Amino acid sequence: MLELVDLSKKYKQFYAVKNLNMFIEKGEIVGLLGPNGAGKSTAISMLSSLVEPTEGDVRFNNKSVIKKPAPLRKVIGMVPQEVALYDDLTAEENLHFFGRIYRLTGAQLKQRVNEVLEIIGLTDRRKDIVKKFSGGMKRRLNIGAALLHEPEVIIMDEPTVGIDPQSRNYILETVKRLNKEKGMTVLYTSHYMEEVEFLCDRIYIMDKGDLIASGTKDEIKRILSAEKTISIQADRLNDSFISKLKQHPTINRVIAEEKEITIMVAKEINMFSTLIKIAEDAGIELNSVDIKTPTLEDVFLHLTGRALRD
């Protein structure tokens, strides 16, 4: 249904997005993951024809959106990363305003506002001004504004950043429900692995403008099927321990944090006694050694050597 073909955006000599290829089938929830500055917002701005690509094409039902944006614009709902609401208007007034932008009027507008207030769980707060809302409520209203014209496709740019867990769960459940009950196609952008893991059928992972992995959750985790992740905890880690790990021939990757080190080794290798020996040699005491089954976060770590969240 939607396709990005060799899409790039260049700012001066810098590629914010480079050669991105993605597709979204009707009825899917697709996740777009990546750390700060990965190029997620730029990619979806090009997808929704808000930013013009330097190279490449966006295709909707096999027709170029760059040449003719109207057909996609009509059926797309976009939830921007920054909350875009009028603070001095009530929830209901905000929705009325956005509804009119979508050319809704009269009884139809009224009905859609009521329906949307139900969907986002703000019916009982409809008469309150947005200024008095919590971050989570603003986020929900921001989503509501994109739902008024009953879009076929909704694009959400990090809709749960900086909100309480309850609002976050509410939003995640709402996205699932819209997809299941209304068949809404969703592109969900996030840097929270667990959200994408919960919601999405397929996932794209970006870093520094590039696509670094894509596929179903299982396919992406299979990238790590040959390896296992071991996390080592100690109160006082020292350089000698870290460099011994790094030099060890069977350890493929070492990621050191303050009190925790994550290493990756081939699946069949038993590291336990080796680790204890290395710790002894380096003069440190280990608190715990955990062998973990791979998560999407581990895939990111594996591909980039960095954690997804900074």
Task: Give the footprint of Mg ion on this chain (CB under 5 A).
Answer: 40-41, 81
Is residue 11 at the binding interface for ligand ATP, with CB under 6 A as the rule? yes
Spatial strand order of the sheet with 288-292 comes to 251-256, 260-266, 227-233, 288-292
Specify the residue, 40 or 168, whose C-beta has the smaller distance to ligand ATP.
Answer: 40
Which of the listed partners (ligand ATP, Mg ion, none) does 114 bind, with a CB threshold of 5 to 8 Å by partner kind?
Answer: none
From the CB of 10, what's the least distance to ligand ATP, in Å? 9
| CB-based contact 121:169 (threshold 8 Å) | no
Is residue 40 at the binding interface for ligand ATP, with CB under 6 A as the rule? yes
Residues sharing a CB contact under 8 Å with residue 295, sequence separation 6 or more, in sequence order: 193, 197, 221
Is residue 36 at the binding interface for ligand ATP, with CB under 6 A as the rule? yes
Which residues inside 186-205 make contact with ligand ATP, applying CB under 6 A?
Answer: 191
- Nearest-angstrom CA–CA distance, 286 and 235: 8
- Kindly indicate which of the ranges 31-39, 68-76, 110-118, 229-237 contains the residues binding ligand ATP, using the contact rule CB under 6 A: 31-39
Plot region of 280 (φ>0 → left; ψ -120 to 50 → alpha; else → beta): alpha
| Per-residue x/- track, 59-88, ligand ATP (CB under 6 A) | ----------------------x-------
Is residue 107 at the binding interface for ligand ATP, with CB under 6 A as the rule? no
Residues sharing a CB contact under 8 Å with residue 106, sequence separation 6 or more, in sequence order: none
Backbone angles phi, psi at 62, to 5 degrees: 70, 10
Q: If DSSP codes are grouped into helix, strand and coil, which group holds residue 183?
A: coil
| CB-based contact 278:247 (threshold 8 Å) | no
Is residue 7 at the binding interface for ligand ATP, with CB under 6 A as the rule? no
Candidates 7, 20, 31, 39; binder of ligand ATP (CB under 6 A) is 39
- In the complex, which residues of this chain contact ligand ATP (CB under 6 A)? 11, 16, 34, 36-42, 81, 191
